[in-house]
Amino acid sequence: MFEAGLWARSLPTFAAGTLLAGTGIGLAFRRGVGVGVGVAQRLAGPRRRADLLSTNFLFASTGTIVPTPALGLLDQTINQDVATLILAVAVVATTLASALRRPTTAIA
């Protein structure tokens, strides 16, 4: 939806896509950090828990930050519309690949 708003030059579609994307990344971040915190609480000893939690948070934050500089680099060399399309395809492909590799049973 974000990409469609950009290509169509439609502010309402672009804004709706931005809200949808922001909600999605917020939920994914919350889920990723929440699961990581639960695993750290169960598996890590008290002396290592802070290290594990901070590493989990660092990786979760990196996943939400990396697309922005990537878009900036792409935009310097190619058209902005094409740059965002490449980034959108990369994000969708990464998401699908991660979903397909995800275990179907809960990790105890």
pLDDT in tens, 52-81: 778 877 877 777 788 778 888 888 889 888
C-alpha to C-alpha distances, 65 to 9, 29, 73, nearest whole angstrom: 25, 11, 14
Half-sphere exposure of 71 (CA within 13 A, CB side): 13
How much is the pLDDT for 103?
66
- Residue 107 is classified by DSSP as -
Confidence (pTM):
0.55
Q: What would the pLDDT profile of 7-40 be if each residue is shown by its tens digit? A: 788 888 888 988 888 887 777 777 766 776 777 7
Phi-psi region of 18 (alpha: psi -120 to 50; beta: other; left: phi over 0): alpha
Instruction: Identify whether residues 1 and 24 lie together within a single domain.
Output: yes
- Which domain range does residue 93 map to? 66-108
Q: What would the pLDDT profile of 80-107 be if each residue is shown by its tens digit? A: 888 888 888 888 898 788 778 766 665 5
Instruction: Identify whether residues 45 and 13 lie together within a single domain.
Output: yes
Instruction: Identify whether residues 75 and 50 lie together within a single domain.
Output: no
Task: Indicate the number of domains in the chain.
Answer: 2
How much is the pLDDT for 27?
79
Quote the CA–CA distance of 13 and 26 in Å, as a whole number.
Answer: 20
Instruction: Identify whether residues 52 and 88 lie together within a single domain.
Output: no
Long-range (24+ apart) CB contacts under 8 A made by 4-9 are 6/81, 6/84, 7/81, 7/85
Rg (CA), the chain: 17
How much is the pLDDT for 32?
67
Helix (H, G, I), strand (E, B) or coil at 49: helix
